Structure 1
Amino acid sequence: MAGNSQRKGSIKKSGKGNPTAGSGGRVKRGLEGRGPTPKAKDREYHKAYKAANKVDRSAAARPKKRRTGSTDAEWIAGRNSVVEALREGVPINGVYVAEGAERDGRLREAFALAADRGISLLEVTRNELDRMTSGAVHQGLAARIPSYEYAHADDLLDAAAANGEQPLIVALDSVTDPRNLGAIVRSAAGFGAHGVVIPERRAAGMTASAWKTSAGAAARIPVAQTVNLVRQLKAYQDAGCMVIGLAADGDVSLPDLELADGPLVVVVGSEGNGLGRLVAETCDQLVSIPMANQLESLNAGVAASVVLFAISEARR
C-alpha cells in the first residue's frame, strides 16, 4: 500500500521532512572507499611504527629525573648539634628557639651563623618545640632541614659525559650507618667521583647526620637512589662501565687493579656483612685491599676512601 512506511525499503520521512532511503543514503556512504592503506610505519599499532618512534635512550635525549626523600623534613635538636650543622653548611629551613632559653655562647653563635646565611629565626614556646622535635632533648634550640633531593642514577653518567671524563661512580650495598654514608660522599667528592648511588630501602639516607659527616660535600656531589641496586649495576654495565666490588676475599688485589682508568663503578658493602650475594655475582671483579695483618675488614667509609684514592692516583 502506497505510503506504508512499514514496508522494507520504503521511504521514511524524518521529523524535519527529509526522506531517507532504506537501502541507500548512509549505507551508500559507508561503502565509499577510504583511500590507500597507510604504510606500516604510519600505522600507530604496527611494530614498524613503534620501531621508528622508539624513544632515544642516549644521554642527550633522556629527561632528567629527580626523586625526593620520603619525609618532608628532619629536625636537628640540641645546641651543639645545631651549631655544628650551621658551621658545616647543612641546608636549614629555619632555626627555632624556645621562649626564655638561656642566651649562652652557643646560642649566640647559632644566631650569628643563621643571620649570615639568611636563615629565619623563630621563637616558639617550649611546649611547641617539644612537639615539633617529638620530645627530643633540644636545650631550647632546634633546626629544621628539608628533605634531601636525590638525583636519578642515570644522571651520574651524564655528569661524567658533560665533563668529558670517564665515569667513576660509588654504589653502596645496604650501608646503614649515616656517618659512613657521609664519609663516603666526602671521599667521593674529594677523589673525583661523579656521584654516589644508594638503595631506597634498608640503607642509610641523606639525614642530618650524613650531611654533617660529609662536611658539606653533599652539596657538591649528587647522591642518587635506586629501587633495585642489582638492576642499576647491570644498567651501568650496559652503558659500558665495569663494576668492581670490595671484598676481603676478592680475586684481585687493589694494587693489581687494571680497570681504574676506564668507566668504573665501585660497590661498597655493608658494615657487617659486606656485599650481598646477588650484588657480588653481578660485579665484574671482586677487589681486596691488602692488609698488614689479619684484621678482618675495614670500616665501609675507610675502605671506600682507600680504593678511591688508588683509583684517583691511577687516573693521573
Structure 2
Amino acid sequence: MTLQNPTYRPPAGTADAAPPRPAGLRALAQRHLSKLVVAPSFAAILLFVYGFIAWTVYISFTNSKMLPSYELVGPDAFSKLWRISRWYVAIENLLIFGGLFIGISLAIGILLAVLLDQRIRGEGVLRTIYLYPMALSFIVTGTAWKWILNPTIGIQEFVRSLGFPAFTFDWIVQQDTAVYTLVIAAVWQSSGFVMALFLAALRGVDQEIIKAAYLDGASLPRIYWGIVLPSIRPVFMSAFVILAHLAVKSYDLVVALTGGGPGYASDLPATFMYEMTFRRNQIAIGSASALMMLATVVAIIVPYLYSELKGGKRV
C-alpha cells in the first residue's frame, strides 16, 4: 500500500493540470484595447454633442415655448426669428465685433511674432506676458475690463484725477459704442494666442532663404512681406478659423462685460439665444437662432477642412 504525498502537485501538461486560458481572447483584447478605452468618450460625444444637435434641429421645427413640444409645425420658428428686430441687432453686432476682433487680433499677433522673431533679449519673459491673457477665462477678462472701462472707477476717472477733467471715455455705457468695448477685451485676450501661432510658424521657415535674400540686398520688411509671410499662409487660415469660431460663440465675455446692454445694444447671437430660450420661454425660436450660429460656424470650417484635405492629397 502506497501513501500519497498531500503536497504533491502534478506537473504541467498532465491530465490534472488546470486548462490554459485561451490565447485568442487575450490577443483580441489587446488588439482592440484602444477602441475599448475610447468607446465611453465616443459614446458621450455622440449623445451630448451630436445627439443634442439633432434634438435642437427637431425642436426648431416645433412650436415649443416654455416646455418642449414634439409636434412638427414646419419652419415657423425661423420665420418668427427673422421678424425680430433684436435678432438683426445681434447680427449687426456680430459683423462689427467679428470683423474688428479678427482683423486687429491678426495684425497685432503678426506684429508681435515678427518682433519676437528677431531673437530680442528677454524674449521668454515677453512671450509669457503676451500669452498670459489666454490663460484666463472670458468671464475673468470681462469682469476685469468692466472695472477698467467703468467711467466712475476706471480709465476715465484715473485720467481725470491726473488733471484732465474734460476727458471722457464712457464707451461701455453708450449704446453706439458698447460693442467696441467687447472688441477691446477680446483682442487683449486673443492676440497673444495668434502671436504664438505665427511665432511657431516663423521659427519653421528655412533660414537659408532669408540669408539669401539678405545677400541680395533685400530689406527686413521686404523679406517678411514678400517671402516669409507668404510661406506661412496656412497659418493665416488656421488663425482666422479659430478667431471666427470664438467670435460666433461669444457669450460669457458679453455677459460679464456689458450684459448685452445698454438695453440690448451689445447683444450677440449667443446672448440672444439665451434670452429667447431661458428668459422669454421661446425654445423653438432659441433653437432656430442656435442653428443659425451653427450654420455660420459650418460655413467657416467646412471650406477650411476641404482646403486642408485637398492639400494633403496633393502631397
TM over 0.5: same fold? no
Greater relative contact order, per chain length (Cα 8 Å cut-off, separation 6+): 2
Larger relative strand fraction: 1
TM-score of the superposition, structure 2-length normalised?
A: 0.21
Larger relative helix fraction: 2
TM-score of the superposition, structure 1-length normalised?
A: 0.21
